[in-house]
Copies of this chain bind each other. A is one copy, B any other.
Amino acid sequence: MTRDPHGPDSGRSAVRRPASIKDVAAAARVSPTTVSHVLSGNRPVNEQTAARVRSVVNRLGYVPASLARSLQAGSTSVIGLMIPDISNTFFAELAKGAEDAAHDLGYGVILCNTEFDAEREDRYLGMIRSRFIDGMVYASGSPPSRRRLEALMGRFPIALADEEVDGLEGALIATADHEAGGRLVGEHLRELGHRRALMVTGPRELKSGVARAGGFVKAFQGHVTERVGDFKEHSGYRLVSELLAAGDPDFTAVFAANDLMAFGALTALREAGLSVPGDVSVVGFDDIRAASLAHPSLTTVHQPAYDVGRTATAQLLQYVSRGEVPPASRHTLPVELKVRASTAPPAR
């Protein structure tokens, strides 16, 4: 028994097959071609005919299947957004910017939350090869996997957001000015009178963290102890705790390469009975929402996460929407130092 969408009662519980362009054409006694053109406006149609078609469209509740349209057009108007953790406010802001830019151009965004999991990332990258998405905004925040590089090097439409990737100098990339951020922190602490600092960096593979550290060291011009963290709160806590436990810490200020680790540092210092900023100053990076609410409120570098996401996406779509391959280009967005309560001149 076949289903007839016009049937008197195709039955309440069953899922009715939605009307197709053919159903509309038949009911309006025109060809599918004409229906298509009435809806798209791609060529003039007699007003009488058009009216008849439109009325049938309404009556049947016809909505064109975008899938078929995509197949025919060769593009889906959907892009992927690859990020490691959507519950991190930095990436959430970035996602918002990406979604906004995509929405402006009529694109949808598939959320690819990797949890730093390479396998998961690979699966999502596969979507681009299966042509389910027209491009990818990539902000994975972890070192490149083999398949990832393959996809990128294969000149698939990908834009890097916030983070460069080694060996991909020829990509489209939008990023905050990490080095300038580091420099601002270095200058700030130096001006306050600090001469010995602890820098908690991110993993060496991540260029952004390296740039932050580089800018800082250059501007601080004092003694810097470096420790490598992983951008998670606990590593900030652990590294600072260890140094304090080892006795006589050789720093009056801590610069963590992101706010999360700065929070960890704050906790470690508090537990050690040190006051912030009385005994030790602390600076973060990112300016996530919690930074201004923490106690003491955190001096940090504001990253324009929203703009990074928005810029990367807008740039990508500018080319993708014309069927072109995005060329190499770099968009560096300005950062800003937010001086709050966690920094002060060193004691003595």
Contacts and interface: CB of A to CB of B under 8 A. Distances in A.
Contacts of A27: none
Contacts of A131: 18, 63, 65-67
A25 interface: no
B87 A132 contact: no
A76 B66 CA distance: 11
A71 interface: yes
A76 B108 CA distance: 14
A64 interface: yes
B15 A78 contact: no
A290 interface: yes
Given A92-B86, A290-B290, A110 B108 contact: yes
Given A87-B93, A263-B293, 14 more contacts: A18-B131, A63-B126, A66-B130, A66-B131, A67-B70, A71-B71, A86-B92, A87-B92, A95-B111, A95-B113, A96-B113, A99-B113, A109-B110, A111-B111
**8 pairs of A and B residues whose beta carbons are closest in the complex:** A295-B295, A66-B130, A63-B129, A111-B111, A66-B132, A293-B294, A87-B92, A290-B293
19 contacts: A3-B324, A18-B131, A63-B126, A63-B129, A63-B130, A65-B130, A66-B130, A66-B131, A67-B132, A78-B110, A87-B92, A89-B289, A92-B92, A96-B113, A100-B113, A103-B113, A263-B293, A289-B290, A295-B295
